[in-house]
Structure 1
């Protein structure tokens, strides 16, 4: 039980990587608060699974790009469960199209959910972590933030920004007992990748050394390493479980 007695807050927790991480953290002893965006049906199912593991569960529909809504959710979690020990900054979205075809509104929405949302969710939990001299923030980036990709310029830029945010915040956070790290997953079987053109998807798989997409559970295992007691020497790191898509 690596996370016994911890309170974990997970954004985008009703499906995909967020849900897999919520369930793994619960199995390891954490109570789970998670947000989603208008996904109450799947959120209720995930919360029931968490409770079946003997842990508390709380969820809300929250647009993480809405700073006031994110802060209000953190306050609700602190009131009902206690101060957040682990923030898993995971909520995401994407719009795929050529660089020249993006509108300003599309660019703003992608950057707001990923970079702006993660920035201010971290800001919301940070003071209580510093006050207790301990905490863990894990930001979900992407291998596209490391290498880029066609038809994903705003997404790649936002994910690269998350890596930079992780490093910058670590300089302020680590001396105060708060570890900040990032995970840059490769292609994972989620709702986001399910929208890929089948031919493009197969070409991507064929180019991967492992010959398959990863699973949300494999990313959750990386999150547990960073959140648990064995992750204490990771500071400002970006771990990239990506099946060989990026080797560095």
Structure 2
């Protein structure tokens, strides 16, 4: 029987890696992204747009077994220069994106007796970072929401977890990003950035029946960037 998944941020980076791996593993994946190449174009920070997109997806596929919230953006800005709008945008996209998509799919998951939600957060939510205050704060809020939702929905059969990657080789990291600098890479046990497919394998586990006893967890496939 086909398993259906929604992946936000599916057009590039970690989201694309997750969508590709799930499809290769037999999942039917519907991508949601701002990019016109996505199956459904929607801004995850807009609750009305998310509700409409998920409604259309449910009409098309009937049931959604898994939601992966991977949409996001990143920039490096000293805390003294972070504008209110930049902070609010980080929160709207990362925290709001998870809230909006989870709220849209949870009723159908509860009605069918189960499902899995995985949010992509960041090791910066755990360890913080120089110039990453608004990003780390938004990703930290994602962890708080994941654990709260997990507690609220555990007895209704819905498992909700997070993955917290370290620096990953995606377009979000510019060519001149300090995360790509040889001096930084030399500090990592693996001496390289994580690949999107390595994150995707952890997500694949968390949405599978093998992770039936995992909820409220934060798994950190970060190559030893944070230990």
TM-score range, shorter chain: over 0.9
Q: Are residues 1:60 and 2:40 paired?
A: yes
Q: Select which of 131, 145, 149 maps to 1:165.
A: 145
Structure-1 separation of matches of 2:68 and 2:48: 18
Q: Are residues 1:180 and 2:176 paired?
A: no
Structure 1 runs of 4+ off > 4 angstroms? none
- Structure 1's unaligned 5+ residue stretches are 44-58
Structure-1 separation of matches of 2:93 and 2:185: 27
1:199: Cα distance to partner? 8.0
Aligned to 2:91: 111
Aligned to 2:127: 147
Aligned to 2:23: 26
User: In structure 2, do the counterparts of structure 1 residues 97 and 198 end up closer, same or farther at CA, with 3 Å as the change threshold?
Assistant: closer
CA contact (8 A) 2:3 2:28 kept: yes
- CA deviations over 1:57-93 (Å, ceiling 9, x no partner): xx12211011100111100100111221100000001
1:188: Cα distance to partner? 0.6
1:194: Cα distance to partner? 2.7
Structure-1 separation of matches of 2:66 and 2:210: 15
What is the TM-score normalised by the length of structure 1? Answer: 0.88
- CA deviations over 1:173-217 (Å, ceiling 9, x no partner): 111000000000011100112354368632321111111001000
- CA deviations over 1:209-240 (Å, ceiling 9, x no partner): 11100100000000011011211111100000
Aligned to 1:216: 196
Matched length: 227
Structure-1 separation of matches of 2:61 and 2:183: 46
Aligned to 2:210: 230
Aligned to 1:12: 9
CA contact (8 A) 2:179 2:185 kept: no
CA contact (8 A) 1:95 1:106 kept: no
- CA deviations over 1:71-120 (Å, ceiling 9, x no partner): 11100100111221100000001231100001111111111000011112
Aligned to 1:124: 104
Aligned to 1:55: none
- Structure 2's unaligned 5+ residue stretches are none
What is the TM-score normalised by the length of structure 2? Answer: 0.96
